[in-house]
Amino acid sequence: MKYYLPYIPIVGMILYLIVFSIAATDYPGGSVNHSMADGYSFFHNFLCDVMNPVTQGGKENSARGLAIISHLILSVTMISFFYILPNIFSFQNKNTRMVRSFGVLTMVVFAFMFTKYHDLIVTVTAILGTVALVPFFLELRKYPNKGLKQLAYLCYLLSVIVFFIFVTKIGFYYLPFLQKITFAVDAWWVIWVSLIIIKKNQSVNPLFH
């Protein structure tokens, strides 16, 4: 079973993008920047906008149901990602166990982002995610793949910037677009890590393909 786990984040990420894109096409329109706009805007709508019961323009959101399904797919994707993430290391210790435990917990909480407690969930996931990534970065210092290390640092830096803007509202107009950039970089990290673990598993068991 462990040999198949690294495929879940890859398949899940692709499935999320497909389902979310379908949901977004049904979004009536309206964003924090342009409340009366029609349709979903890549530059002005947040990913979570599609899960709101009512749009910023006051319209009933018919895309909500499918959008929530896509979000739950993403949640399962990220739960599986944090479960396998420590496997990029050749050892397991207290730090890697913390990465797995707090990473999975972070994404379980993240799954409830579609509820009315959205803003609280954002803060809680930011805190739990940091707790998960601090021990990860401690172990990452000894990791030989410099490219993956730099990408992981970039992911966290972008997440900090997004959270800072979300809390302070400084540059908030540009946050929906920055959120998409951050998601794209995160998706790159998720897929790269999964491919590394798949290759590692195949080297241990050459019969597995």
pLDDT tens for residues 150-203? 999 999 999 999 999 999 999 999 999 999 999 999 999 999 999 999 999 888
**Sorting pLDDT into bands at 50, 70 and 90, what band is 1?**
low
Nearest to 42 by CA among 157, 163, 161, 174: 174
Neighbours of 73 (CB within 10 A): 20
Q: Give the pLDDT confidence score for residue 57 in this predicted structure.
A: 87
pLDDT: which is higher, 94 or 204: 94
What CA–CA distances, in Å, run from 131 to 37, 165, 179?
Answer: 39, 20, 21
44 contacts 31 by C-beta, under 8 angstroms: yes
pLDDT, tens only, 183-195? 999 999 999 999 9
Mean pLDDT of 60-69: 96
Sorted by where each begins, the domain ranges of the chain are 7-204
pTM of the full predicted structure? Answer: 0.93
Q: Does the 7-204 domain belong in CATH 3.30.1150?
A: no
